[in-house]
Every structure is written in C-alpha cells, then in structure tokens.
A and B are shown apart, each in its own frame.
Chain A
C-alpha cells in the first residue's frame, strides 16, 4: 500500500533556529496537510494545501510557519524561528478525491 513518508523522524533544534520538515505525499494525491500533536494532547490541524496554494489554515499557523511544494513530490513545513512551544510531533497527510487521509509516521520536533 502506498505511504506518506516523513523525514527526519526526529529533529532537535535550538530555540530561534529555522527548521524544515519534509514529507513525500502519495504520488497521485492532490490535497496535503500538516497536523501537530503536543505530547499527551489532541492532534491539531495546521494547514491544508491544494493546487499549489494554502486552502485553509488554523490560528496556530501564524507568520512563523510556511509550506511549500517545491518540486511536485515533496511537501515541506518550515518554522522560521522555533519556540519551545513548537515542540511536538508533526504529521503530514495527503488525500486524493476521497475523504480518506493517509498520515505519515510523523517528525518529532524538540526545541531546546
């Protein structure tokens, strides 16, 4: 079965540094998402992306965050200046025309 692939699985960074989380969605999918889960809490929506633009974003997705699909296969989430509270598991997901979302295994981001 096709998979959503996320790299790296773990990322440690210093507060104030920029990080880029990478995702390779399933190849024929059209919709792409980022979610995050702070340890012990619910999974929260960050942003959805369709047709090379953001289609929806949450209040969490402020100016420090950006997404990009640079080459037609990768889908990246950039955090410009990380804060301690950005520490979380970040999940990429993709979907085709159906409502079924396929999630990646996540990137655990630790901000020190």
Chain B
C-alpha cells in the first residue's frame, strides 16, 4: 500500500519570503500523480498543484512550484513571496494511475503560519 509522509507538523515563514514544505512517499508503482492541497481555516480542500510522475519537468503554478525527485520519492512544495493568505494546513497526496485505484492517499498535513 502507498504511504505519504509529511515529517514537519508545523512551519512558519515571514511574509514575502520563501518556504519549502517537504513530503516523501512510498510506492512500488512507476506511474502516479502527486498533489498538494491547501486547507485554510474554512476547512475546504483546495488543490494547489499536481505532478504527473512520468513528467520530469517540475510543475509550477504562479508562486507555487514543486521539486519532484522520483528516485528519492520526494515531492516538496516551494511557496515564493509568501502571503498572509497562504497560512493554512497543507496536505501532500498520492494517487495511483495503474490498478484502477482512484483514491487519494494523504499525508498528515503541515500547518503553515505566515508572519507579517
């Protein structure tokens, strides 16, 4: 079974600075998807960015980018120019491509605080 690990339960960053959130996962599959979801205090799950494992190029969405290291099974999220609205729980998630499983497997999450 796949597992997702977020080893840092909390982080803080100063407004306008850059922060990197770490995530590792375990799988025997060669193709899969990885996601970062943001959960603000409203508790809605908002997709931040996704990466397809067969793509070597790291995904980027505006201030958000990932560092995907397939061999190391690492998938970190970099937030540039941090804003107060970035404060939230961030969850890393894995989804299989093969075998018909559509479920997302989430990590435990990490609480990001943005200091003004």
Chain A residues near B (Cβ < 8 Å)? 31, 33, 35, 37, 41-45, 48, 50, 55-56, 58, 89, 91, 93, 95, 99-106, 108
Interface residue tally for chain B (C-beta within 8 Å): 23
- B107:A31 contact, CB within 8 angstroms: no
Select which of B44, B46, B47, B107 is within 8 A of A42 by beta carbon: B107
Q: Determine which residue in B50, B100, B102 has the highest number of CB atoms from chain A within 10 A of its CB, and name it.
A: B102
CB of B56 within 8 Å of the partner chain: no
CB of B108 within 8 Å of the partner chain: yes
- A105:B101 contact, CB within 8 angstroms: no
A19 to B79, CA, bound (A): 40
- B45:A56 contact, CB within 8 angstroms: no
Within 90-104 of B, Cβ neighbours of A (below 8 Å) are at 91, 93, 95, 97, 100-104
- B43:A42 contact, CB within 8 angstroms: no
Distance in Å: Cβ of B93 to nearest Cβ of chain A? 8
For B93, the closest partner residue in chain A by CB is A43
